[in-house]
Amino acid sequence: MKAKSELARQILHILLGMCAIGGMLILWKLTHGWHYISISIAWLAMIAYCTVVYLHSRKVKTPLDVLFTYMGKRDSFPGEGALWYLLGIMLALSFLDRFLYVIASVYILAVGDSISTIYSYKNKYVQSFFKGRSWISYLAFIIFTIPISLYAGVLVIPLILICTLAESLDLRINDNFLLPLICVIYFRLI
């Protein structure tokens, strides 16, 4: 059951990132104010998140309770992964103004982190020295995130390698925030 709930968690992780990218793409095509609207939507999502966590802490039953009980088993507090994920997206939106840089950051967060985790559960007997994951999980991170370089340019490839390394180290920072932070620093420096 644990592997199934982790797989469901990672699929949700990817889907939320793809929805964020799709929403930003639609806004980018429709209006020049895509950036401000995206930040406003992220703030609304944060308010909704806080409301759901508050209701959950008060034992008020909501349809979203399944997310806390079924997928939130490894969180230190209810919705921890979702909080860091949302903060990571907000970080990218707040500090990056080029559309492709924001999209690349969200893509690396959504796809790279999830695929790495999925492959680490699938190949749990072949361990590496970093975070106890297999080398296949890091290779999967690279392979599945390289396609974003077709849109954001070849300058993203070193970023993908840096994020793969950061994903492999146990830095005591949630990956959902760490990866966008690295992306922001990288894109601000290039």
Rounded to whole angstroms, how far apart are CA atoms 52 and 32?
Answer: 32
Where in the chain are the domains?
A: 2-189
Per-residue pLDDT at 189 = 95
Q: Do residues 65 and 54 touch, judged by C-beta distance below 8 A?
A: no
Token pair in block for residue 10: 């990672």
SS3 label, residue 123? coil
Q: What is the pLDDT of residue 60?
A: 86
Mean pLDDT per 10-residue section of the chain, whose length is 190 residues? 74 94 94 92 93 86 72 68 92 95 97 89 52 80 95 95 89 91 96
pLDDT at 131: 63
In the prediction, which pLDDT does 3 show? 67
Report the amino acid identity of residue 185.
I
In whole angstroms, what is the distance from residue 135 CA to residue 20 CA?
29
Per-residue pLDDT, 135? 82
Separation CA 178–CA 182 (nearest Å): 6
Asked if 68 and 78 count as a contact pair (C-beta separation under 8 A), the reply is yes
Q: What is the pLDDT of residue 1?
A: 44
Residue 26's CB is within 10 A of a number of other CB atoms, namely 11
* Distance (Å, whole) CA 108 – CA 110: 6
Placement of tokens 């939507």 in the chain: 41
Q: What is the predicted pLDDT for the residue at 168? A: 83
pTM of the prediction?
0.88
